[in-house]
Amino acid sequence: MGDNTLILGHRISEWCGKAPVLEEDIALANTALDLIGQTQNWLGYAAEIEGKDRDADDLAFLRDFWDFRNLLMLEQPNRDFGHTMMRQFLFDAYQVPMLKALEGSSDERIAAIAAKSGKEAAYHLERSSETVIALGDGTETSHEKMQAALDRLWPFTGEMFADDAIDEAVVAEKIAPLPSSLREAWSGTIAGVMGEATLGVPDTIFAHSGGRTGKQHTEHLGHLLSSMQWLQRAYPGATW
């Protein structure tokens, strides 16, 4: 959860000062701040549980490429504004039911983080949905770009619902839901928004995988980390 919000938060922050209009520049910056705030909570708790005298900053800035467990979709480059908002929507539609389920976690700390994060995620989903609909059902050019973004990103969505032994273990302890159990809610949200956006959902069943397990990442994560981590790597222990 922390790696997802960290990597997407960094990607969204890359729009700061570069968005199409001032309102979107501010909105994207606020979304990135929300995600980084969630990261602080998730990675901070992970560091406590780990018990190796590390904190959230250590996990964010001093781990190597192969130690990250984020969804592959979130490390993909921003490309154009439509692509960025389509990626945001596909993730938001997953994040909202995930956080809702985590509010019932047997781990009180996880439940509390999920409750706080869920309010922000609900707003993110509302905004990304409206943007996807407006661009998808907009001009011929915006429609084509949104369809191209959906086609490009769709093969990455299946990873969100892939179950493994770790998922089954946390389900047994009532800590978190089985990822596959979230697909129905996600699919319902996708179908509704794509219908209004006049966009066609790809019929391919192929799904990239490896990000959540750390077995495989795209080259884009390496470039992202070199940008995100260079200060701490160059000046170990530097603080604001």
* CATH code of 74's domain: 1.20.1260.10
DSSP assignment of 90-141, as one string? Answer: HHHHHHHHHHHHHTT-SSHHHHHHHHHHHHHHHHHHHHHHHHHHHHHTS-HH
Q: For residue 240, is pLDDT > 80?
A: no
Q: Is 99 inside any structural domain?
A: yes
Do 86 and 149 touch, CB atoms closer than 8 A?
A: yes
- If we measure between CA atoms, which residue out of 132, 30, 140, 16 comes closest to residue 83? 132
User: Looking at residues 51-64, what average pLDDT do you find?
Assistant: 95
Q: If you count them, how many residues does the chain have?
A: 240
Question: Could you tell me the pTM of the whole model?
Answer: 0.95
Amino acid 41: pLDDT: 98
Amino acid 147: pLDDT: 98
Q: For residue 204, is pLDDT > 90?
A: no
Domain tally for the chain? 1
Average pLDDT, the chain: 96
Q: Residue 62 — very low, low, confident or very high, per pLDDT cuts 50/70/90?
A: very high
Q: Is 239 inside any structural domain?
A: no
- If we measure between CA atoms, which residue out of 67, 68, 91, 81 comes closest to residue 8? 91
Q: Residue 238 — very low, low, confident or very high, per pLDDT cuts 50/70/90?
A: confident
Q: Is 240 inside any structural domain?
A: no
Structural domain range at position 153: 2-234
Q: Is 149 inside any structural domain?
A: yes
Amino acid 121: pLDDT: 98
**For residue range 87-125, what is the model confidence (pLDDT) as tens digits?**
999 999 999 999 999 999 999 999 999 999 999 999 999
Lowest mean pLDDT among 32-46, 136-150, 171-185, 200-214: 200-214
Q: For residue 239, is pLDDT > 90?
A: no
